């Protein structure tokens, strides 16, 4: 019987994924990673493993997580950019540690409860969109490298709704069946801005700039992101948005909405799975909560440029750009600038 290690996070998705693997006749071993102060999640994972009658190994990677993911998060904000800790974590922490520990147990295949599926493009194994398009997490897996993808299974790839997963969990009596989903940064409770301000008090104070003129002092760059409208506190004839954050002067450049729409986005390459040519048609998304849009992709050694057919609102430096070909992730990186 083949053995699969399942990443048990303490949530309903990974618990049901473990059950589905057992239903296929696989020998399932649970692995839970302690990445921060998440004792409740560890306890939920233990309860799920006991109910499913699978062994569970718990490994503490809190120090490595802080050094890798949390430091990246704080440093990116200090640079006036918008981080994506989930995308970053999946490659450099969560999947890295999961695969590493599975292999130490002699297990070559790893599964998770992510909503995604695997496909093949020109002989390359790739991460593709889930059947459940509303919950699709392929964007968050866009930094996974070829060697990581090769070892993965996604048991929820055919699940077409979260309700379907919860019904399975309820039928089994899983303790995670009604557990609420978290949409916040996992290692920060409450508003991340408050955490940043406590960690770096009085950092990044500058001025709001509108049409090259100073308007007034702002509250520090941690309080603002590119594309933000709320909380500026400036009366003007039109709605104003954050267009740019200058990390040398800490000034925040404001503009009306029409000036934040850009057709071209320059991206620093972070992951390349497959590129059909140096200039090709595809779709891409610049944040998790948007549809991928048609574009032309122009690739060189370290960067790529996305030329969208339609202008995109407020591409944020630091955020992740993800390129799809036939609904599969082939290229991704960090947004540098747009024009």
Per-residue pLDDT reduced to its tens digit, 272-316: 999 999 999 999 999 999 999 999 999 999 999 999 999 999 999
pLDDT at residue 339 in the model: 97
- Please state the rounded mean pLDDT for residues 182-206: 86
Has residue 147 got a pLDDT over 80?
yes
Residue 34 in any domain: the answer is yes
- Choose the weakest-confidence range: 12-21, 174-183, 291-300, 330-339: 174-183
Q: Give yes or no: residues 210 and 307 share one domain.
A: no
| CATH assignment of the domain containing 286 | 2.40.30.10
Q: Give yes or no: residues 226 and 312 share one domain.
A: no
Q: Give yes or no: residues 264 and 253 share one domain.
A: no
Q: Give yes or no: residues 272 and 243 share one domain.
A: no
Positions marked active-site? 89, 186
End-to-end CA distance of the chain: 55
Give the C-alpha separation, 163 to 177, whole Å: 10
Residue 178 in any domain: the answer is no
| CATH assignment of the domain containing 250 | 2.30.30
Q: Among 211, 228, 257, which residue terminates a domain?
A: 257
Looking at per-residue confidence, does 39 or 187 come out higher?
187
pLDDT at residue 163 in the model: 87
- Please state the rounded mean pLDDT for residues 105-122: 97
**The tokens of 277 are what?**
């040519």
Q: Give yes or no: residues 52 and 164 share one domain.
A: yes
Confidence of residue 1 (pLDDT cuts 50, 70, 90): low
Q: Among 222, 257, 292, which residue terminates a domain?
A: 257
pLDDT at residue 57 in the model: 98
Q: Give yes or no: residues 160 and 98 share one domain.
A: yes
Total of domains in the chain: 3
Confidence of residue 40 (pLDDT cuts 50, 70, 90): confident
Has residue 102 got a pLDDT over 80?
yes
Residue 196 in any domain: the answer is no
CA neighbours within 13 Å on the CB side: how many for 262? 20
pLDDT above 70 as % of the chain = 99
Residue 73 in any domain: the answer is yes
Q: Give yes or no: residues 268 and 159 share one domain.
A: no
Q: Give yes or no: residues 268 and 332 share one domain.
A: yes
pLDDT at residue 132 in the model: 85
Q: Give yes or no: residues 211 and 160 share one domain.
A: no
Q: Give yes or no: residues 92 and 131 share one domain.
A: yes
Q: Among 151, 172, 193, which residue terminates a domain?
A: 172
Confidence of residue 215 (pLDDT cuts 50, 70, 90): very high
Residue range(s) defining the domain that contains residue 9:
3-172
pLDDT at residue 219 in the model: 92
Residue 188 in any domain: the answer is no
- Between helix 12-23 and helix 162-172 the angle, nearest 10°, is 70
Q: Give yes or no: residues 280 and 323 share one domain.
A: yes
pLDDT at residue 282 in the model: 98
Bridge-partner residues for 29, per DSSP? 5
- Choose the weakest-confidence range: 154-163, 225-234, 261-270, 287-296: 154-163
Q: Give yes or no: residues 16 and 164 share one domain.
A: yes
Nearest C-alpha neighbor of 130 from the set 140, 122, 121: 140
Residue 208 in any domain: the answer is yes
- Please state the rounded mean pLDDT for residues 308-328: 98
Confidence of residue 93 (pLDDT cuts 50, 70, 90): very high
DSSP 100: H
| CATH assignment of the domain containing 153 | 3.40.50.620
Residue 190 in any domain: the answer is no
pLDDT at residue 76 in the model: 96
Rounded mean pLDDT of the chain?
Answer: 94
**The tokens of 218 are what?**
């702002």
Residue 187 in any domain: the answer is no
12 within 8 A of 172, measured Cβ to Cβ: no
3-state secondary structure 175-242: CCCCCCCCCCCCCCCCCHHHHHHHHCCCCCCCEEEECCEEEEECCCHHHCCCCCCCCCCCCCCCCEEE
């Amino acid at each position: 019987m083949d053995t699969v290690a399942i990443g048990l996070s303490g949530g309903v998705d990974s618990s049901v994924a473990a059950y589905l693997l057992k239903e296929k006749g696989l020998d399932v071993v649970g692995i839970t990673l302690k990445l921060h102060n998440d004792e409740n999640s560890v306890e939920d994972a233990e309860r799920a493993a006991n109910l499913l009658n699978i062994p569970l190994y718990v490994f503490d990677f809190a120090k490595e997580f802080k050094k890798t993911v949390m430091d990246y998060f704080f440093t990116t904000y200090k640079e006036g950019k918008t981080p994506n800790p989930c995308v970053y974590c999946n490659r450099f922490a969560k999947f890295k540690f999961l695969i590493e520990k599975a292999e130490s147990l002699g297990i070559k295949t790893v599964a998770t409860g992510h909503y995604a599926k695997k496909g093949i493009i020109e002989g390359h194994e790739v991460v593709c969109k889930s059947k459940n398009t509303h919950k699709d997490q392929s964007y968050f897996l866009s930094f996974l490298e070829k060697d990581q993808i090769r070892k993965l299974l996604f048991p929820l790839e055919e699940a077409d709704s979260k309700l379907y997963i919860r019904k399975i969990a309820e039928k089994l009596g899983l303790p995670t069946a009604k557990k609420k989903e978290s949409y916040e940064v996992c290692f920060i409770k409450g508003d991340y801005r408050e955490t940043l301000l406590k960690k770096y008090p009085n950092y990044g104070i500058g001025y709001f700039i509108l049409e090259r003129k100073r308007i007034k002092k702002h509250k520090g760059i941690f309080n603002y992101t590119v594309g933000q409208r709320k909380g500026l506190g400036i009366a003007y004839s039109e709605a104003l948005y954050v267009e740019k954050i200058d990390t040398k002067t800490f000034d925040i450049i404001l503009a009306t909405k029409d000036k934040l729409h850009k057709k071209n986005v320059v991206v620093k390459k972070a992951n390349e799975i497959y590129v059909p040519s140096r200039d090709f048609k595809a779709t891409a998304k610049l944040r998790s909560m948007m549809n991928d849009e048609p574009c032309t992709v122009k690739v060189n050694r370290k960067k790529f440029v996305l030329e969208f057919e339609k202008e995109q609102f407020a591409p944020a430096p630091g955020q992740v750009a993800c390129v799809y070909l036939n609904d599969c992730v082939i290229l991704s990186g960090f947004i540098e600038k747009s024009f």
